[in-house]
Structure 1
Amino acid sequence: MEEVNDDDIDKIFLQMRKELQKIKPETGAQDYGPKERSGFHALGFGINIPDGFEKAGREKTAAIFFSKNRPDIVLLNPAEHAGITFQAAKSGNFSLDLEAERKQIRRILSQADAKNVFYDQGNISGDIPVVWFDYKSFAVDERVYNMMFLFPAGGKLMIGTFYCIFKDYDRWRPKILNMLRTIRTEEAVHERI
């Protein structure tokens, strides 16, 4: 497998697509209601993830993300060809100005691939502030819908992403926005007790 540099966005999406195509769709109805995930306490937050997403192992994560800078957590929904990632930015390497961080990341993504098409952005108020934006990126013969979101947790900036094949974005977008409303930090949970 070829190593990918940080600026090789297309290669990353092509590799993700290749891996997702290997997964056979499940038959029968599935419940995609929220599911509490407690495995993120090490990163300082909790969140309700839609059903069907399971944590990917090291080998699967390495097959999708060839870069050495892999996300801390990768969740895959094989039946729906979708994924969610979480990664803590290096502590001390961000400001608490989430708007400025979002602007910076959008600029980097735009420079990495001028074909990326940016759509909407928003803020979610809850236990903690969350900012998000969505965009379309391109693989060889497939368009990919992406939603990136940022929030502070455990003294770090958390960067999350959701991705799926573009034709499914209208079904997933509301579910992911609802998921973002459930983000809470360990500090917020302890304050309620």
Structure 2
Amino acid sequence: MSYAINMLKTMIKNMNPAYIFFEDKTIESAAGNSISLIQFKSYGIDEAAYNIIYLVSIDKYIIQGAFNCKYNDMDEWKRAALEIIKSIKLE
């Protein structure tokens, strides 16, 4: 998983070096799965966005998900987004 998340982060950095990356994390889902995530600030035409991209490994598969919101709204949404990501149950 660390290889996959690092490759994803490198691709994003290469696509736009102006993006600002925050702390990478590994969290545990409610079902006990390990979730690797990267957080970064990206830029659009008229405003910045806060982004979370996460990877979950299930058996031989890697599942990718994403969350984003306006950067100015990050403090309101970050905790809720992480709680939703933690609640993922894959069967």
Question: Normalized against structure 1, the TM-score is what?
Answer: 0.44
- Rounded to whole Å, the distance in 1 between the matches of 2:53 and 2:27 is 13
Q: Secondary structure at the match of 2:24?
A: strand
Q: CA RMSD in A?
A: 1.3
Residue 54 of structure 2 corresponds to 149
Residue 82 of structure 2 corresponds to 177
Q: Secondary structure at the match of 1:185?
A: coil
1:105-139 deviation line (CA, Å, top 9, x unaligned): 01000000011110111111232110111001111
Residue 17 of structure 2 corresponds to 114
| Alpha-carbon distance, 1:154 to partner | 6.1
Where structure 1 has 5 or more consecutive residues not aligned to the other structure, the ranges are 1-97, 187-193
Q: Does 1:100 align with 2:14?
A: no
**Greater C-alpha radius of gyration:** 1
Choose the corresponding residue for 2:26, options 123, 142, 151: 123
Q: Secondary structure at the match of 2:68?
A: strand
Where structure 2 has 5 or more consecutive residues not aligned to the other structure, the ranges are none
Residue 66 of structure 2 corresponds to 161
- Rounded to whole Å, the distance in 2 between the matches of 1:145 and 1:125 is 21
What percent identity do the matched residue pairs reach?
20
Residue 140 of structure 1 corresponds to 45
Question: Normalized against structure 2, the TM-score is what?
Answer: 0.90
1:122-176 deviation line (CA, Å, top 9, x unaligned): 1112321101110011112210110011002363211111011111111111011
1:66-93 deviation line (CA, Å, top 9, x unaligned): xxxxxxxxxxxxxxxxxxxxxxxxxxxx
| Alpha-carbon distance, 1:182 to partner | 1.1
Letter in 2 for 1:110: K
Q: Which runs of structure 1 show a deviation greater than 2 angstroms over 4 or more consecutive aligned residues?
A: none
- Rounded to whole Å, the distance in 1 between the matches of 2:62 and 2:46 is 33
Q: Secondary structure at the match of 2:54?
A: strand
- Rounded to whole Å, the distance in 2 between the matches of 1:166 and 1:154 is 34
